[in-house]
Structure 1
């Protein structure tokens, strides 16, 4: 799913030339890539907020959620704001108060199942820079004020700027900006991995502008490859382990780009190259080299690399087996908020292992943390533990909420269990889940805890299946 917003006609700020054209270009490009696109131009604050709220709900069942914004953007107090058509320009703070924050945009894409991307084509001149006598970031020559500050997206979300934070994006001489033109051309390139696609966009814009404009990305996608076009799209539907192995299917030219990115310290590139060398069926199979690549990414603070390296030390794959080092890496990864590591530590404490004494209470704490990070299996397991009455302070309504979130995340096991074996949960939990389905307009029947055809239909709809 994609939400496209372009603002050209401002009530209280200079109009922009290419933003509507750019929005339409990206919209048409994404439609050809089978996106469900919602496009809106010259909208005000209230409509913008309503669109984001609806998109946040609807994109929960999408594999990919993408927001593209073209218009004025400003930074106030370290927070980025995207300016709607009717923003109040009385002061810089009033502009912020009547605009949409980047945090709002990030929340709107946050629950998509595989890929979350925010693209801001809004690093133009800041028309509000002197509204209250205070400047924002300036270029070295101090002659032009710019608009946006570096964002801090959650791991698993990519934010792309048309120009590096603190720099200016150009409108170009044609009907579309250099950035939008490069983005549209690149996204539809067949069999081009999405992370590498944004590197190609950067290179294309640099060339088109004579190095005057350099797009920049912030945040990080997951370590699994993803393709928007071409036969490689079949990779997107594979299970997690197979998705990682699929890095080895990249063409040589894309592997070379990964190697360049890895030398620059790009952790996702390091992981991609490592996964290539962990595929036993690939011609690049080399576990010791994979461990070295993951070590580098882990040293740079990447929690996914820490987790994968921990598994290698646990099993002695590519490295000498070292259970203590494995446990240290699991804990570092968990401390950095990596849900897989947190969930695994839950099982280690629940069952005992790696020298950890069995501690069910501690295990439940880990399962809860992983569930709150929307780890699919953890949400289901934590709901079952709550239903069993062994999680202090949690009630059937909490169990139902985790089951609902697991459904929305695309957890097939939850859909299967609730469809085929609903009696594994108490009636009180089933009633609470029916209420949650009803609140989201997925169910209109009686709240009785009986999962008949109408409830089953609601479960499928909440999961994202249409009748």
Structure 2
């Protein structure tokens, strides 16, 4: 039975991991590991579940194997669930590693996720806060303790709880607020890894065995010695993709600066520290990234190449270092050397290497330019959860690069990338709704997607949202907001923002008229090949005084030196 067809929420496993930067498992000071495992199966008013208790039992066993003290609660009503959470919270000691796992029915309504007790009677979605437990509230309860790390796992129902035996959906009040799939839940904790068994908005599969595909994969990965948390998720994702034929792709979002090894190998590290190579060349979407990421534009090969060459020499079997050195070689224009390193890492199954190789074929560096080959490599990584390559696949479908143009498929892949917080994907989704590409024109949806891209720092989304505010499309016309968003995009190097800022300063819209500032932005745009800006620059410079021209040159010099903003 294909669970993906159901329109109401049937939401699946999500895995929250919050690891504080200072966390380490030292021999002399062991950190306590505590887990609360809840499994609900015998529902009185909703359909009973098949695998919930089996999944809870599997997690109970796996967690005990990796050193957790586990409190197992089965078939709990709301009162029992609340008591269990209170009792568990009171056991938490400072710096403990804390994990809560829930298997059972789950519902998403109005962007909130609810864990459903076995005694819940739901006649209206407004009943949910009263008869079920809010997932975000559970997380807040845990965050209110002094735990060193927090892991929150939701392995919720993969079937529609309101689907009757006749195949028809039972009527429920305010049912329109119910949504398909799991809603993203954000945590403000420093060093956060968030993972779902499938992309937000999608549904997971029950599987053919005694456990869900994700729980089966996760419990196996947890028991693998020597794997860091990041590697555990990569392993889990690969297992799930293979088990479901690519129909279910687990989701993660990480800002970890240290990575803990749950079962260290003899002589191996318990905490994976970021090396100089990681700090110089780590890719934002690399599933094996350790430490903060480095945007390609900011990658300095003078620093990254020697740092990563030293890392590869010191640990030749480490594929992460090979892909980072390949990325540094790419930035240095050494395509053939990058190709060889990526080839080795690809053979070892490293997703970052597939991404790197796709980039080489996309721009013809070290290889003959081949967009179809680039698409093929991106697609391989995208199907295994690589967020940037999900965006790349969506963009190539959008543009018809290396593949037949298909806006419908573009939107599917862009939504997957957006659900992994990839800002550029939100920008392209905004364009799809703005232009009505394989869908109805929806200016509000366009504005919403652009705003989400802006929130994630995408410069193109900043320009596009500014355009909407300038013209009053999908939002109330507001030249000042347009100016603000153009300014943000300009500081990130968006050429279209340069031109628009020049226009606003020239016309005095959203900002005081200032021809000197207009000339500044027109100059930057003209340097990037914008002929329309060059024409305006000529006209603007013609009315500037010699003193203004000297000031203009000083500002341009400051910009070139990176002093601006």
Cα distance change on mapping 1:104 and 1:54 into 2, 3 Å: farther
- Which of 40, 48, 56 pairs up with 2:89? 56
Task: Using the TM superposition, give the Cα deviation of residue 100 of structure 1 relative to its aligned residue in structure 2, in angstroms.
Answer: 1.0
How many aligned positions are there? 279
Spell out, residue by residue over 1:55-106, the C-alpha distance to the aligned partner (whole angstroms, 9 max, x if none): 2232343542111111111112221111111112122221332111112221
Q: Residues 247, 278 of structure 1: CA spacing in aligned structure 2 closer, same or farther, 3 A cutoff?
A: closer
Larger deviation, residues 115-124 vs 22-31: 115-124
1:76 is matched with which residue: 74, 88, 109?
A: 109
Structure 1, residues 263-291: CA drift from partner, whole Å, max 9, x if none?
6366955627999997999557999x7xx
Please name the residue that 1:186 is paired with: 221
Are 2:235 and 1:200 aligned? yes
Q: Within 2, Cα distance between the matches of 1:105 and 1:247?
A: 38
- Which residue number corresponds to residue 172 of structure 2? 131
Asked if 1:14 is matched to 2:47, the reply is yes
How far is 1:29 from its partner? Answer: 0.6
**Which structure is larger by alpha-carbon Rg, 1 or 2?**
2
Q: Supply the distance in 1 between the matched residues of 2:118 and 2:172 (Cα, whole angstroms).
A: 17
1:123 to 1:12, Cα distance in 2 relative to 1, 3 A: closer
Worse-matched range after superposition: 122-131 or 81-90? 122-131
Work out whether residues 12 and 86 of structure 1, in 8 Å CA contact, stay in contact via their aligned partners in 2.
yes
Report 1:385-424 matches (<5 A). Answer: none
Tell me whether 1:119 sits opposite 2:140 in the alignment.
no
SS of equivalent residue, structure 2 residue 292 = helix
Matched with 2:259 is 225
Q: Conserved in 2, the CA contact under 8 Å of 1:66 and 1:116?
A: yes
Given the two structures, how large is their TM-score scaled by the length of structure 2?
0.42
- Aligned residues of 1:81 and 1:99 also touching (Cα < 8 A): yes
Q: Is residue 52–residue 103 contact of structure 2 (8 Å, CA) maintained in 1?
A: yes
SS at match of 2:260: coil
Where 2:98 maps in the other structure, the secondary structure is: strand
The structure showing larger relative contact order (alpha-carbon pairs under 8 Å, at least 6 residues apart) is: 2
Does residue 104 of structure 1 match 2:145? Answer: no
- Answer whether contact 1:123 1:148 (CA < 8 A) is retained: no
Shift of the alpha carbon at 1:163? 2.2
1:108 CA displacement? 4.0
* 1:150 pairs with 2:191: no
Deviations 1:329-379 (A, max 9, x none): xxxxxxxxxxxxxxxxxxxxxxxxxxxxxxxxxxxxxxxxxxxxxxxxxxx
Take 1:189 and 1:246, find their aligned partners in 2: how far apart are those partners? 27
**Contact preservation (8 Å) 2:274, 2:291:** no
Please, which of 75, 79, 102 is the counterpart of residue 46 of structure 1?
79
Give unpaired runs (5+ residues) of structure 2.
1-33, 163-168, 315-320, 332-422, 425-452, 454-565
Q: Secondary structure at the match of 1:14?
A: coil
Q: Is the 8 A contact 1:205 1:214 kept in 2?
A: yes
* RMSD of aligned Cα (Å): 4.3
- TM-aligned CA distance change 1:186 to 1:165, over 3 Å: same
CA contact (8 A) 1:190 1:229 kept: yes
- Going from structure 1 to structure 2, the CA distance change for 1:112 and 1:196 (only over 3 Å counts) comes to farther
Change (3 A) 1:232 1:125: farther
Secondary structure of the structure 1 residue equivalent to 2:184: coil
